[in-house]
């Protein structure tokens, strides 16, 4: 099957050929004719299977062939997405697929000035990619009206509900024309999404090219059990021991992101970060540096779990499991894209057993477990099943009893030993960390180790001219 056999016009065929698209993916082969027909669509496909092209290509053709020119402060196609990163990614896809067509595109999202977006909308745009909050802000200021919207696309609608956009979505649905085409494209479909779809879709074509909520078969997945306080040391140990040179690292909190980034930086790795507190231009720069190889480690929260299209990303590391099981599918979907192979490693502590069980139930498989010598968990992680159940927690091995006399000098009952002359009551700082890490680990107190965790095993990795005893300037 070829793209030409799907009925696409010549300009679009030239553009996909320039992008080296040889044959349509399964989701594209089913979605493109359905969207061209003007019918509503609900499509489920794994991340990395080309679903963006599945709706962008046919919508560009419909914009060229049908409907009047767009008016001022109007849009003809509205694409709603949960995050700024996904908005930029989808916009870039429309620009690439629509090269040479007389169409205008805009991405609108918060975190940046609204004024340039309002100025662009004055002339009208054919495709508006937006996050729900910023879209409603523009509508309240009369910068955009919805009466010319022909097609609504909901991309990653489950994530929008996870982020609390339910009210904003209802407000957008109420403002749109009743006669329109509506498309839902996502890697995951929850019960809430299906309930929402029932209210906005009319006799949709249901497209599924893989087991619902599945992960790509080419991604090798396993978990390493560890105590929470030892996660940073284990992370650095695994990076050095396995010579991992290029990875996307997910952490639950902004503080955790910055902490691990500082550890990587001090160990000589070129690293950057993405999280919700970073301004959008800085987030885009970090992503671009990672994609071009200027940095080899990108540490992020779940704002980077969706919409990032990174060629040849070999490895995703989950230092923390996501709260929402569907986000695991999107996190590891950054690797193993377009038929390539990939690796996904998750560090799991006992507190995360319920999240692990939910993930395994979602993807319908039990993930292989490993323990790293020297990092065995004292708080054992309960066994889980692919049905989402927690099996009885394994018994913690008993510690041998130590004779009372071996504890040292006898002390009065009920009294704690006092620090000897000049000793500090503080715990020693974890080795290998500089002044930037002196505030303590957000993962909890760590055990001091004789060898700094995370030091590269093979050859020196410090950038040239970097001082031995402190932090040097980050690599560009």
437 part of a folded domain: no
pTM for the model stands at: 0.63
446 part of a folded domain: no
| Residue 131 shares a structural domain with residue 228 | no
The Cα–Cα gap between 109 and 52 comes to 19
| Residue 204 shares a structural domain with residue 229 | no
- The pLDDT of residue 79: 97
Q: Which domain holds residue 63?
A: 4-208
Give how many domains the chain has, as a whole number. Answer: 2
The last residue of one of the domains, among 183, 208, 233, is 208
317 part of a folded domain: yes
The last residue of one of the domains, among 346, 362, 396, is 396
Tokens of 431: 């080795």
The Cα–Cα gap between 328 and 315 comes to 14
| Residue 194 clears pLDDT 70, i.e. is over it | yes
The Cα–Cα gap between 53 and 28 comes to 7
The string of pLDDT tens digits covering residues 78-127 is 999 988 888 998 999 999 999 999 999 999 999 899 999 999 999 999 99
414 vs 239: which has the higher pLDDT: 239
The last residue of one of the domains, among 396, 415, 448, is 396
406 part of a folded domain: no
| Residue 259 shares a structural domain with residue 180 | no
414 part of a folded domain: no
| Residue 204 shares a structural domain with residue 226 | no
Tokens of 365: 């498989």
| Residue 115 shares a structural domain with residue 247 | no
Task: Kindly indicate the confidence band of residue 279, based on its pLDDT and cuts at 50, 70 and 90.
Answer: confident
| Residue 156 shares a structural domain with residue 288 | no
Could you tell me the CATH number of the domain that includes residue 296?
Answer: 3.40.50.300
274 part of a folded domain: yes
252 part of a folded domain: yes
| Residue 158 clears pLDDT 70, i.e. is over it | yes
The DSSP call for residue 293 is: T
Query: CA 34 from chain center: how many Å?
Result: 29
| Residue 203 shares a structural domain with residue 318 | no
Tokens of 55: 């709706």
């Amino acid at each position: 099957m070829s793209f030409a056999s799907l009925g696409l016009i010549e300009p679009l065929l030239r553009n996909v050929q320039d992008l080296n698209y040889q044959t349509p993916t399964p989701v594209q082969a089913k979605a493109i004719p359905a969207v061209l027909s003007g019918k509503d669509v609900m499509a489920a496909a794994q991340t990395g299977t080309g679903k963006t092209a599945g709706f962008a290509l046919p919508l560009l053709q419909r914009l060229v062939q049908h409907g009047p020119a767009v008016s001022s402060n109007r849009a003809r196609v509205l694409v709603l997405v949960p995050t700024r990163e996904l908005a930029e990614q989808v916009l870039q896809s429309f620009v690439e697929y629509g090269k040479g067509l007389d169409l205008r595109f805009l991405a609108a999202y918060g975190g940046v000035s609204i004024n340039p977006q309002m100025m662009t909308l004055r002339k009208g745009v054919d495709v508006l990619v937006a996050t729900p909050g910023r879209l409603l802000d523009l509508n309240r200021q009369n910068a955009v009206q919805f009466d010319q919207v022909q097609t609504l696309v909901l991309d990653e609608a489950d994530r929008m509900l996870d982020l609390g956009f339910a009210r904003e979505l209802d407000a957008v649905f109420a403002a749109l024309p009743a006669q329109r085409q509506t498309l839902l494209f996502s890697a995951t479909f929850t019960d809430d999404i299906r309930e929402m779809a029932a209210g906005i879709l009319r006799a949709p074509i249901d497209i599924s090219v893989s087991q619902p909520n599945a992960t790509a078969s080419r991604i090798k997945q396993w978990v390493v059990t560890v105590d929470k306080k030892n996660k940073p040391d284990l992370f650095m140990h695994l990076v050095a021991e396995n010579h991992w040179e290029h990875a996307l690292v997910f952490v639950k909190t902004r503080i955790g992101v910055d902490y691990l980034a500082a550890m990587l930086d001090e160990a000589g790795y070129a690293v950057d970060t993405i999280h919700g507190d970073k301004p959008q231009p800085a987030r885009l720069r970090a992503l671009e540096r990672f994609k071009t190889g200027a940095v080899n480690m990108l540490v992020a929260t779940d704002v980077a779990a969706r919409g990032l299209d990174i060629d040849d990303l070999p490895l995703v590391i989950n230092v923390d499991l996501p709260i929402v099981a569907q986000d695991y599918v999107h996190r590891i979907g950054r690797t193993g894209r377009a038929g390539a192979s990939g690796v996904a490693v998750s560090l799991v502590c006992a507190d995360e057993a319920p999240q692990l069980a939910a993930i395994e139930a979602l993807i319908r498989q039990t993930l292989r477990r490993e323990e790293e010598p020297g990092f065995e968990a004292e708080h054992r992680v309960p066994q889980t099943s692919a049905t989402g159940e927690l099996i009885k927690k394994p018994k913690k091995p008993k510690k041998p009893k130590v004779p009372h006399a071996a504890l040292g000098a006898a002390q009065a009952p009920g009294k704690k030993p006092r620090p000897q002359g000049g000793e500090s009551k503080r715990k020693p700082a974890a080795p290998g960390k500089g002044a930037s890490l002196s505030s303590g680990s957000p993962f909890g107190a760590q055990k001091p180790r004789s060898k700094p965790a995370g030091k590269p095993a093979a050859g020196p990795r410090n950038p040239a001219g970097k001082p031995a005893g402190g932090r040097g300037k980050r690599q560009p």
